[in-house]
Amino acid sequence: MKGLLLALVAMAAMVWSVAGHAAPLRWASDAEANVPFVFHDPADQSRLTGYEYEIAQAIGRRLGRPTRFVQNDWDGLIPGLQRGLYDMVIDGIEITPEHEQGVLFSRPYYMTTERITVRRGQRGLETLAALHGHVVGTLKDTTAERMLQADPSIRIRAYEEETNAYTDLKNGRLDAVLLDGTIALYYGSPDPDLKLVGAPIGQVAYGIAFARGDTALRDQVNAALDGMMRDGELHRILARWNLWTPAMAALTGDASTPAIVPEAWDHYRAATAPTAGWRARFDRYVGFLPLLLHGALLTFAVSACAMVLAVGLGLGLALMRRYGPRWLGALATLYVEIVRGTPLLIQILFIFYALPGIGLRLSPFVAGVLALGMNYAAYEAENYRAGLQSVARGQIEAAIALNMTHVQALRFVVVPQAVRMVIPVMTNDFISLLKDSSLVSVITLTELSQTYVRLSSTYYDYFGTGLLIGVAYLLLGLPFVRLARMAEARFHTGRQRSGHI
Amino acid sequence: MLRGISLEVARGELISIIGPSGCGKSTFLRCLNFLEIPDSGTVEIAGVTITRVGGRWSRQEEDAAHRLRAHVGMVFQSFNLFPHRTVLDNVMLAPVRVKRVPAEDARAEAEALLDKVGLSAMAARYPDTLSGGQQQRAAIARALAMRPDVMLYDEPTSALDPELAEEVLSVMRTLDNEGMTQLVVTHDMRFARAASDRVVFMDGGEIVEADDPDRLFVDPQDPRTRKFLRSVL
């Protein structure tokens, strides 16, 4: 569905550019749990916001190109860039020698420092040295993580989502969190249970990432950033978000202190303030429903298409293994063993990011359906094979003696009897597929579980949104359970209505 | 397993094949419609001839077997009715799917055949609700629905109590009277002696003796036949 939409947008974009207009500047970020960089406005989940979102818009304006945002999972951002899914990535990516090996960076558009956050009652953890021997959380592959690694006595917990780090700090699983000033300001400081302590540590520079070799666009964007620093637009954006720092003043040579109201910061704090009372909470959950519905629809579409593929391919594989010539059977066995023996997550990433290397470009939706369907086909194949084996050999002999071909014997005698054996197992598989479909979130599809991540991390509300999402999954699974019951009842004895041949 | 077997059967004959367990009589029967593929030898039924001289079973041979099976019906010891279909559908299935007989015609013929084997009342039932004797008679009706020239029976009554076996044997006698050519692998010596036109005694993969039942049972020529008959009679 979303894939189709993307395709339509892409086609529209092509027509647009042919007509002589500027091609859209496609930029990517991970807008899930990504305050204050790029995120969905807590007051209106359909609206993107964030200081980097505003920077991207400003760059687009200066280049005279409309911008188009592409959502991608953090781990997929750089692979997607290399794949050509979009032109650039803005997501607080630190300019480090390691990162520079994979991508081309713009000049820094933001400078910040590392900050230590602890629980309110905690004392004596104000410096990096004081963290000696403690359990400290941070994000993986960051400057902060490398700083912590310098002291081997520190037990590091490297997270993917900053919200998880701060939640674990509150829950007492961590003694401190070391993260970028931007993140600490938005996640650590507003929380009444937490406080920022000590002086700023070190320095971090964020850059916009481009595909290696795309120096033309990099130079254009650098020029745009230069302009934004000179005429104060960057200053205004950052000040609105309460993010203007002395380091930025040093970077831009802009020592002015204009009176800019941090309205974006205020808006965010107001929207995420802990809700008091049932009524406000309920209103907030009602506001989630459109997002939930969208996520549920995508989950359902991916799962249903993948199931159809899994059943068809699985039956083919099972027949190949049981009745095909030896080489075909061996091929099917190899397929089943490889697919069952490797993680589904790897398969999804491989199909989406690696296949373009051999010229096969798939939309996220198609790639997701293909990966899930091909994976479950292996399990279905084994299931069907067991079902076929359970049909007595005498049944085929009777069919052959009645002058049926092998194909007719399978179609009219063996398969209908095998079906009743496999239906209970199939029901299980399908419900489990419905849940495994959450893995397609790694290839930019915002389905149900990704919706959960987004909502819960925005509001720090894992409990209420968790229940909501759980109910949504149950409701989705229910029709399959009922369908399977009906089928089971119908095939219980493997019987078909008389006189319908 | 089988060696030097040569048997000519005239139209309308009822042949009983007897012999100790493992003597190859079932294998021989299954070679006749190529459920079992012989290494070498010739099978000719109703004008279709298949000669094997070793080697892989080829596509052409499978096609020839398909033509040959059009003339041959088979009944199994374990009935092998299709459990997911009613008795009527069991009988109709092959004519409709293999011979493309219109469903109404196939139904009429199936009902007539079920009537003939005494199962009219059972047409709408599922096989597992029938007695063994009824199931085997349904299996005979199913085979007859393809209008074979020859019927093969692989121990058709071995899984049945004597009185149920009698229901099945009486159907076979009726068919014999109507001129059906039938080959029966059986342990039922009484039936073999009373109903057969000829009895074939096999042992060790060979045909030891083939003769008129009265002569074979009363005065067997070969010591192996004598020994076998002494042990079973």
pLDDT tens-digit profile of A178-195? 999 999 999 888 888 899
Structural contact between residues A451 and A295, judged by C-beta atoms closer than 8 angstroms: yes
Q: What is the pLDDT of residue A497?
A: 54
pLDDT tens-digit profile of A211-229? 999 999 999 999 999 999 9
Q: Best mutation site among A397, A402, A492 for testing chain B: the one with the most B CBs within 10 Å?
A: A402
B6 domain residue, yes or no: no
pLDDT tens-digit profile of A247-256? 899 888 888 8
Q: Does A493 touch chain B (CB under 8 A)?
A: yes
Q: What is the pLDDT of residue A14?
A: 44
Q: Is there a contact between A403 and B98 if contact means CB atoms under 8 Å apart?
A: yes
- What is the spatial distance between Cα B222 and Cα B227, in angstroms, rounded to a whole number? 9
B97 domain residue, yes or no: yes
Q: What is the pLDDT of residue A496?
A: 52
CA dihedral B101, B105, B110, B115 (to 10 degrees): -160
B30 domain residue, yes or no: yes
B209 domain residue, yes or no: yes
pLDDT tens-digit profile of B48-88? 999 999 889 999 999 999 999 999 999 999 999 999 999 99
Residue B165: domain span: 14-232
Q: Which domains does chain A have, with CATH numbers?
A: 24-107+210-273 (3.40.190.10), 110-205 (3.40.190.10), 281-491 (1.10.3720.10)
Query: Cβ of A63: how many Cβ atoms within 10 Å?
Result: 16
Q: Which helix (H) or strand (E) holds B55?
A: none
Strand partners, B200: B17, B210
Q: How far is B79 from chain A (nearest CA, A)?
A: 9
- The CA distances from residue A73 to A56, A360, A378, A450, A453, in Å, are 18, 21, 27, 10, 12
Q: Which two tokens stand for residue A127?
A: 């410096």
B4 domain residue, yes or no: no
Query: Cβ of B77: how many Cβ atoms within 10 Å?
Result: 17
Scan for tokens 């059972």, then name that residue.
Answer: B122
In terms of CA atoms, which chain A residue is nearest residue B143? A402
Q: What are phi and psi of A407, to 5 degrees?
A: -65, -45
B145 domain residue, yes or no: yes
Q: Mean pLDDT, to the nearest integer, of B11-23?
A: 95
Q: Which two tokens stand for residue A250?
A: 């040093």
Task: Tell me what ipTM this predicted complex has.
Answer: 0.95
Q: What is the pLDDT of residue A63?
A: 94
Q: What is the pLDDT of residue A499?
A: 53
**Biggest distance spanned by C-alpha atoms of chain A:** 96
Structural contact between residues A112 and A180, judged by C-beta atoms closer than 8 angstroms: yes
B44 domain residue, yes or no: yes
Helix/strand/coil for B29:
helix
- Which residues in chain A are contacts of B86 at CB distance < 8 A? 498-499
What percentage of chain B has pLDDT greater than the value 90? 95
What percentage of chain A has pLDDT greater than the value 70? 93
- What is the spatial distance between Cα A111 and Cα B29, in angstroms, rounded to a whole number? 90
- What is the spatial distance between Cα A400 and Cα A139, in angstroms, rounded to a whole number? 65
**Who wins on pLDDT, A18 or A101?**
A101
- The CA distances from residue A334 to A5, A272, A328, in Å, are 36, 52, 10
Q: How far is A381 from chain B (nearest CA, A)?
A: 22
Helix/strand/coil for A135:
strand
Sequence-distant (≥ 6) Cβ neighbours of residue A406 within 8 angstroms: A323, A396, A400
Q: For residue B161, is pLDDT > 60?
A: yes
Q: Which two tokens stand for residue A386?
A: 């067991």
- Which residues in chain B are contacts of A401 at CB distance < 8 A? 33, 35, 69, 72-74, 76, 143
Q: What are phi and psi of B37, to 5 degrees?
A: -95, 110
SS3 content of chain B, % helix, strand, coil (to 5): 45, 20, 40
Q: Which two tokens stand for residue B232?
A: 């079973």
Q: Is there a contact between B83 and A493 if contact means CB atoms under 8 Å apart?
A: yes
Q: Which helix (H) or strand (E) holds B183?
A: strand B181-185
Structural contact between residues A351 and A362, judged by C-beta atoms closer than 8 angstroms: yes
Q: Best mutation site among A403, A405, A415, A498 for testing chain B: the one with the most B CBs within 10 Å?
A: A403
Among partner residues A398, A408, A493, which is closest to B80 by beta-carbon distance?
Answer: A398
- Which residues in chain A are contacts of B143 at CB distance < 8 A? 401-402
Q: For residue A483, is pLDDT > 80?
A: no
Q: For residue A16, is pLDDT > 70?
A: no
B117 domain residue, yes or no: yes
Q: How many distinct structural domains can be found in chain B? A: 1
DSSP class of A22:
P
What percentage of chain A has pLDDT greater than the value 90? 49
B118: domain CATH number is 3.40.50.300
